[in-house]
Structure 1
Amino acid sequence: MIPGDTTPGRGEMQTTAIKDAVARQAALADHHHVVPESVTIEGFPDDGLDVVPPDEERSREHFVPVTRFALMERLTAPSAWPNGSAVAARRFFAYLDYWRHQRYGARLLELEQTYEPFSPDSDLLLTRSFTDEELDGMQLRMVEGMKKILKQANYSAIDPKSVEEILTQDSHYGLDLHVDFTLFEEVLIYYRGASTRKDQKRMLRKFLRKEEFDVPIFQRLFLLFKLKPLQERVREIMESEKVSRKEAERMANKQRAHLPAAVVPGNIYMKLFKNIPRSDIEMVFPNTEVKYRMMDKIMLSGGGIAGLGGPIVGAVTKFGALANPFVAVPIVIGLGGAVFRGAMNFVNKRNKYMVVMAQNLYFHSLADNRGVMIKLIDRAAEEDVKEEMLLYSVLAKEQANRRDLKAIDVAIEQYLKSTFGIDIDFDLDDALKRLIADGLVTEDPNGDLHTLPPREAAQHIDEMWDSLLDELPDIDPHEGVEMDIDRLRAENGLPAKEAADA
């Protein structure tokens, strides 16, 4: 039986259902994949590069694109549970939801404390000082913590090298973009929900009539970056380019010219975007440089040449009169005006590009920095709850053994496909580990899985909640020391004590 089967008379899952699922598994084997840790660009379609493989070659995602409320509604239908236990199951799922979010809340507190020295948005006084070694350890813990949260939220990693390889392609918005990745000490790029959306564009071959086409997008795109210290980049340039320190500093400063002034090496920046075209992934970086496409250069240069044509012809026909300064001055002014118009065409085109980029990032942006952390923590908890509800709905209705898990996995995927029309790779192993860790499922030496009934499972979470405050982890920081009042004032730009007293 599938997890939320509401067929009359089938409220209790039967062993034969697992055997049927085993048979279905063989037929579905070609579609059952594992999402890789890092996605590289191989086997792209002929119509342009993408940072992920095409749909038919890409592994299915773990992401369950259904709200936990919709899932709970279907999984707790009265006919889906035997002996009228649907009400108890619904109550247990509500307890489980609160419990999982609370556990992630504790992780959020720890991450927030670790992130504080790197936050670009903090409006709080800096009261603690850290050594370079301590900051390095906190940075590592922060980045690794975000990787774990992203994995739990069912995001997939993108190798930054994949982004570099598509920089030569025109973007969806007609922009040729460049990003210098050598500036970054840390770069994480993750996505969730690689899909397509419909868009329209006027086509010259159709006499400027609009034509509809599919745009590959990331429904969610996460970016974390931290700049390298300037002197570290200078040393890299000296070594790679074999130049003096002075020349390396000039080159390093030129590379940073495209960065906003507010972006500084000591901070860790996080961004979350929605519905970003996959070919425009470079647009989300802070040092994105807008370049002209070859066609733009030809057209703009052509316009400049055409503008120069008239004055040049006039200059040739009046060459004999150049000795007269009153004749030469208008010709020079005409030549200068044509050059100026050509230059202004380039400037206007670039400004138009920048407006397009700013408008699209404005509408695609979801959260920044600490807001990203909070949003991802919530999404990770929600994904866990959905996976656990699905698996529990199977295990609580029938005795199962570890050897049955692959069949159960397939049965859950079939349920999601038939109920919601979604095709995903259900992450059964991760859900089972959490249910076992919380004592809701136990495994004996023979591999038999024993699951608490809904009423007992709810009571078990109730008891864990009661003991929660007694088991809270110590959030006292292990790094850094509190500053005295004089240093605190100096570090935060406050007036000295003598000036304040005066």
Structure 2
Amino acid sequence: MPYDRFIPFTKYDVINLCAQLLPEPESFKQFSHLLSSLIHHQYYTHLESLKYHYAPFDPNSDTRKIKQLTAEQKAAHQSEFAKGFAQILNAANYEKITQDDLQDALNEESLFKVRLAVEFDDFAEVVFYRRGESQKTEVLTSWWGIRKKPLQFTNYDRVAVFIRFKDADYFAAKNKQPLGYEPNSTIVKLFQNVPKADLEMLFPNSEVKMRPIDKAVIASSALVGGAVVLVTKLGASIVLLAALLSFWLGWRSEEVHMGQQHFITFAIGMGVFGGFIFKEWSKFKNRKIRFMKALSDNLYFKNLDNNAGVFHTLVDSAQEEDVKEALLAYTFLLNSPKGLSPTQLDEKIEAWFEQQHHCLLDFEINDALQKLTKMQLVNKQNEIFTAIPLHQAKASLDKQWDDLFKFS
């Protein structure tokens, strides 16, 4: 399994861990505050762009529209939003789930004891992203707890979903309406702790279907119960009716007489049989309702955010990842006066995480060095990077903060 780029420690933990490696921890924390503030300001622009481009098709919007956009203008907004959303997910160290991975997930044995069907034709675009991948084991029970089966599965700590529905013409041609969503709309969702095999439950149009074993249980119960009702409640009446029919058709010479008591008994039996049929149909419907409730209960605890709230969360996560990467790279360069190459720095940070914190990760060294270079916190000579002194770094960041807004 490939290592994740995500650093599974909070920004404050990383600041404290780095401060412990330096002789001036308080000065470093001041530097960290300046660095975080500048990166936060940079991401403010990204957030405003996402809000602007998502607004025309935000299903949760509570604001008025000054003017109606044309189809071409909406398409342009959707395209820009999709591009910006993908950039933020990459900055937050999310990985795209490929179509092959998604198809494998749909074919795997599910932990969730419900069979789901997804109408993929309803979507113009579907993209899944995940962050944090691990192997877990869970014991599945069946036959009222008698049978226990351990199942190893891949679990995703975070899953982001980007879905765009097809236009109104498609749904009109199929005489259907996407439940809860407008045609040509775009939805984004964020979930936590999702088994790979259960990704299909994250689709907005997933429908509960009976598993073969569920159908077999209900069918066998109905057949046995129906046979018992027919024999005990309608057996004598059915034999009598068969004899009467045979006499009318000329297959029987002996006349058959049916009195009022026979008809009453037959009517009562048919009422009992009808009640049995209704009971079995209700059992089928109730079983399906229980499955739907299990699905909604499961999603209730896995859902983290929806639509506009998702990219607010992701922007915050992306800027924290940038801060953590920049602080780690600067700290280790500061502790290496002769400088390090990108490969040496990358290996040193990854080894420190593995040895000191039992954490395996794929550190984003290129992103970190690009950020430090852009903020003028490192020097580069012959592919060797060195960090500028801490007091000089604080002065540089302070000047950049002061220069953010200059109005004549």
Report the TM-score range of the alignment, normalised by the length of the smaller protein: 0.7 to 0.9
Does residue 319 (structure 1) correspond to residue 238 (structure 2)? The answer is yes
Q: Distance in 2 between matches of 1:289 and 1:203?
A: 23
> Equivalent residue for 1:224?
162
Residue 343 (structure 2) aligns with: 406
Residue 441 of structure 1 pairs with residue 359 of structure 2: no
Post-superposition offset of 1:377: 0.2
- Report the CA distance between 1:316 and its aligned residue: 4.4
Instruction: Report if aligned partners of 1:171, 1:177 keep a CA contact under 8 Å in 2.
Output: no
| Aligned 1:14-29 pairs, distance under 5 A | none
Q: Secondary structure at the match of 1:279?
A: helix
Task: Give the corresponding residue for 1:100.
Answer: 39
Q: Which amino acid aligns with 1:60?
A: Y
- Alignment counterpart, residue 461 of structure 1, candidates 392, 397, 401: 397
User: Partners in 2 of 1:205 and 1:179 — Cα distance?
Assistant: 29
Report the 3-state secondary structure (helix = DSSP H, G, I; strand = E; otherwise coil) of the residue aligned with 2:113: coil
After superposition, give the CA deviation of every residue in 1:274-302 in whole Å (9 maximum; x if it has no partner). Answer: 11222211111110111111100100001
Distance 1:309 1:168, change over 3 A: farther
| Paired residues of 1:192 and 1:219 also in contact (CA < 8 A) | yes
Change (3 A) 1:320 1:171: same
Deviates more, 1:450-459 or 1:165-174: 165-174
Structure 2 length-normalised TM: 0.88
Paired position in structure 1 for 2:285: 347
Aligned position for 2:354: 417
Name the SS for the 2:106 alignment partner: coil
Which AA in structure 2 matches 1:428? I
Q: 1:362 is matched by which residue type in structure 2?
A: Y
1:387 aligns with 2:325: yes
Tell me the equivalent position of 1:53: none
| Alignment-derived partner of residue 222 in structure 2 | 304
Kept in 2: contact 1:301–1:342 (CA 8 A): no
* 1:88 Cα deviation from its structure 2 partner: 2.4
CA contact (8 A) 1:270 1:368 kept: yes
Give the match for residue 268 of structure 2: 330
Matched length:
387
Quickly say closer, same or farther: Cα 1:169–1:343, change in 2 above 3 A: farther
Deviation at 1:197?
5.3
Is the contact made by 1:114 and 1:138 (CA closer than 8 Å) also made in structure 2? yes
Q: CA RMSD in A?
A: 2.4
Amino acid at match of 2:32: F
**Distance in 1 (alpha carbons) for counterparts of 2:10 and 2:375:** 23
- 8 Å contact from structure 2 (residues 322, 368) kept in 1: yes
Further displaced range: 117-126 or 323-332: 323-332
User: More displaced, 199-208 or 313-322?
Assistant: 199-208
Q: Give the percent of matched residue pairs that are identical in Structure 1 and Structure 2.
A: 28
Q: Is the 8 A contact 1:60 1:423 kept in 2?
A: yes
Q: 1:195 to 1:147 in 2, by over 3 A?
A: same
Q: How does 1:44-55 map to 2 (within 5 A)?
A: none
Question: Secondary structure at 2:110's aligned position in 1?
Answer: coil
Distance 1:293 1:339 in 2: 21
- Identify if the C-alpha distance between structure 1 residues 269 and 400 changes in structure 2 by more than 3 Å, giving closer, same or farther: farther
User: Relative to structure 1, is the Cα distance of residues 181 and 160 closer, same or farther in structure 2, using a 3 angstrom cutoff?
Assistant: farther
Question: Are 1:100 and 1:385, in contact at CA under 8 Å, matched by a contact in 2?
Answer: yes
After superposition, the C-alpha distances for 1:97-134 in whole angstroms (9 at most, x for unaligned) are 12111211121011111111011111111113322222
Q: Does the 8 A contact of 1:72 with 1:90 survive in 2?
A: yes
Conservation of the 8 A alpha-carbon contact between 1:321 and 1:327: no
SS in 2 for 1:318: helix
Deviations 1:314-363 (A, max 9, x none): 44443332254334323322332232222111101100001101111111
User: 3-state DSSP class of the match of 1:64?
Assistant: coil
Match of 2:119 among 180, 191, 202: 180
Corresponding residue of 1:280? 198
CA shift, 1:461, in A, is 1.1
| Partner residue in 1 for 2:6 | 63
Secondary structure class of the residue paired with 1:470:
coil
* SS class of match (1:286): coil
Structure 2 residue identity aligned to 1:59: P
Q: Distance in 2 between matches of 1:302 and 1:369?
A: 45
Q: CA deviation at 1:449?
A: 2.5
Q: Which residue of 1 aligns with 2:68?
A: 129
Structure 1 residues 116-161: Cα deviation after superposition (integer angstroms, max 9, x where no partner) = 1011111111113322222211111100101010011011111245
Asked if the contact 2:19/2:28 (under 8 Å) is kept, the reply is: yes
Aligned to 1:32: none
| Structure 1 residues 320 and 267: alpha-carbon distance in aligned structure 2, compared to 1, 3 A threshold | closer
- Equivalent pair of 2:171/2:183 in contact (CA under 8 Å): no
| 2:18 match | 75
- Offset, 1:232: 4.0
Judged with a 3 Å threshold, the aligned counterparts in structure 2 of structure 1 residues 69 and 166 are, in CA distance, closer, same or farther, namely closer
Matched, 1:290 2:208: yes
Structure showing greater radius of gyration is: 2
Paired residue secondary structure (1:186): strand
User: Per-residue CA shift, 1:410-446, capped at 9, x if unaligned?
Assistant: 11101011222110111101111111122222334x3
5 Å-filtered alignment, 1:35-50, equals: none
Looking at structure 2, the residues matched to 376 and 86 of structure 1 have their Cα atoms a distance apart, in angstroms, of 29
Corresponding position: 1:470 with 2:406: yes
* Distance in 2 separating the partners of 1:389 and 1:454: 12
Q: Tell me if structure 1 keeps the 8 A contact 2:107–2:197.
A: no
Tell me how far apart the structure 2 counterparts of residues 179 and 274 of structure 1 sit (CA, whole Å): 21
Distance 1:307 1:206 in 2: 25
Tell me the TM-score normalised to structure 1 length. 0.72
For the Cα contact (< 8 Å) 1:157–1:189, is it kept in 2?
yes
